[in-house]
Amino acid sequence: MINTVGKAYFGAHERKAMVNVGTRSDSNVGNGSTQVKKNVKVGEKSYQIFPWGMNNKKPNEMMDLLASNSDLINLLEARKDFLFGAGIGVFEQTFDKGTEILTPIETEKYKKLHDFIQKNDLSEFNESAGCHIVDTANLFTNVSIEKDKVPLITAIDPLLCRADKELKLGAVQNYLISGEWASNSQKDIIVTPSLKLDTDLSKQGEYIMHVKRTQTGQFYYSYATWWPVQKAISIANRLWDFHINGLDTQYNAANIVRVASEYFSKFGAEYEGGEDAFREEFWENVDSLLSGEQGSNRMLADECAVGPDGKLTPYIEIVPVERGIKGDEYLKLYEIVMLAISNASSILSNIAGVSNGKVMGGSGSELRVSAEFQQQYRTPRERQMILRVLNRKIKPLLELPNNVVFAYKNIILQTLDVNPTGTQKTTSNAS
């Protein structure tokens, strides 16, 4: 197992019946002059990675954006909880009149399976894999074959992984691991071969299997469902800055200060710095006087001439402006932005607590049905990505019978009169 940060992981585009296309690209990155050319040298060999985003920093930028918005974090954490369910187990698969039945098994029954369970923390792998899929729609898994031939698996942070652009039979051959892709210099890079269909796993070695959500035009990397609303997230963050400033200044000007022009010409002429310096210092002092400790820029300056009738005397007049803490249009904008973010998070609206810009919930039965719908029908594709690693790559190494499978355990909510604990665990095989 590669145990240094950024070293070792799992990727794979398997060989399939296909027309062999020599050059591939991702539609949201581009080709030619629009694409970052990233050549890196590892030892004596040079590699050209395929950039993840126009500047090869897309996932890093999106994780920074995620960390800046607690509302989005909360939504994605809820989605990860549904994806995790009650964890992954090992089951015997049987059928009764076409109905699949999954029965938990004792892992001691199969030695290699027992050794694998003892060696790997499936709960940790499930949590890490689900986190990476929800955050980035990509799962990179390091498969390490050691002397005992019992595989060790680790979900690798996608921010560390980039694909070698060179293809063979239409498949990525290597993945490059580094913790410095966000910088302009990579000094510590590990090249790890991708785990393909024809990879010989009888030998010791490190491999990376890359599983991602299928998206048209995205060959090297997928993008998460919430990434396209990055502008909405940025707007939501800016609204907080607006209201912080508004609380300091009470959002608008508090006074109109009218001053006769003759005031400056009369008294400014005797000022050491002249009339202009006198005028500037005058307005600064007035603003400071009226603002106090609550901020600045709460005054409208109105320098006037004296009329023919000689009015506007004395020289200075202060007129209060009716004001209050407002900004309703910004609050409405925030509601719209939150609805967009909620929709992009792939969480049902009443579970997310947002619908048409309003906070909502529902009765207990409504929430129960929504939670079960979310778990049963909005997680299978992502669970399949994780189970693909276990059932298609790990299971053959453990020499398990065909009817022994890894599968998810669900949590089904029940009323207390049916089940005193309020929950029941079921299984689902999304392999």
Check pLDDT > 50 for residue 297.
Answer: yes
* Mean pLDDT, range 36-61, rounded to an integer: 85
pLDDT more than 90, % of the chain: 31
pLDDT tens digits, 67-81: 999 888 988 998 898
Provide the greatest CA pair distance for the chain.
107
In this structure, what token pair is assigned to residue 71?
């509302």
Tell me the H-state helices in 221-327: 230-249, 261-268, 275-291
- Tell the burial category of 382 from Cβ atoms under 10 Å away from its Cβ (0-12, 13-18, 19+): buried
Residue pair 156/177 in contact (Cβ under 8 Å)? The answer is yes
Q: What is the pTM of this model?
A: 0.74
Kindly give the pairing relationship between strand 255-260 and strand 299-304.
parallel
| Structure confidence at residue 357 (pLDDT) | 44
- Which phi and psi (to 5°) does residue 406 adopt? -85, 135
Encoded amino acid at 55, one letter: N
| Structure confidence at residue 193 (pLDDT) | 93
Q: H/E element holding 359? A: strand 358-359
Encoded amino acid at 339, one letter: L
Q: How far apart are the first and last CA of the chain?
A: 26
* Full DSSP string of 153-176: EEEEPGGGEEEES-EETTEE-EEE
In this structure, what token pair is assigned to residue 216?
């048209």
Residue closest to 24 by CA, chosen among 217, 214, 179 = 217
* Mean pLDDT, range 296-310, rounded to an integer: 61
Residue pair 327/335 in contact (Cβ under 8 Å)? The answer is no
For residues 267 and 94, which has the higher predicted lDDT (pLDDT)?
94
* Full DSSP string of 104-159: E--GGGSHHHHHHHHHS-HHHHHHHHHHHHHHHSEEEEEEEE-TT---EEEEEPGG
Residue pair 151/143 in contact (Cβ under 8 Å)? The answer is yes
Q: From CA 378, how far away is CA 211, in angstroms rounded?
A: 18
pLDDT tens digits, 383-400: 999 999 999 999 999 999
Check pLDDT > 70 for residue 13.
Answer: no
Encoded amino acid at 71, one letter: D
Q: From CA 303, how far away is CA 279, in angstroms rounded?
A: 10
- Tell the burial category of 352 from Cβ atoms under 10 Å away from its Cβ (0-12, 13-18, 19+): buried
Kindly give the pairing relationship between strand 174-177 and strand 190-193.
antiparallel
pLDDT tens digits, 319-340: 666 655 556 777 788 888 888 8
* Mean pLDDT, range 194-200, rounded to an integer: 79
| Structure confidence at residue 190 (pLDDT) | 92
| Structure confidence at residue 428 (pLDDT) | 57
- Which phi and psi (to 5°) does residue 115 adopt? -65, -40
Beta strand extents in 261-378 (DSSP E only): 299-304, 316-320, 354-355, 358-359
| Structure confidence at residue 379 (pLDDT) | 80
| Structure confidence at residue 273 (pLDDT) | 83
Q: From CA 390, how far away is CA 194, in angstroms rounded?
A: 16
- Which phi and psi (to 5°) does residue 336 adopt? -65, -45
| Structure confidence at residue 34 (pLDDT) | 47
Sign, Cα dihedral of 191, 195, 198, 203: positive
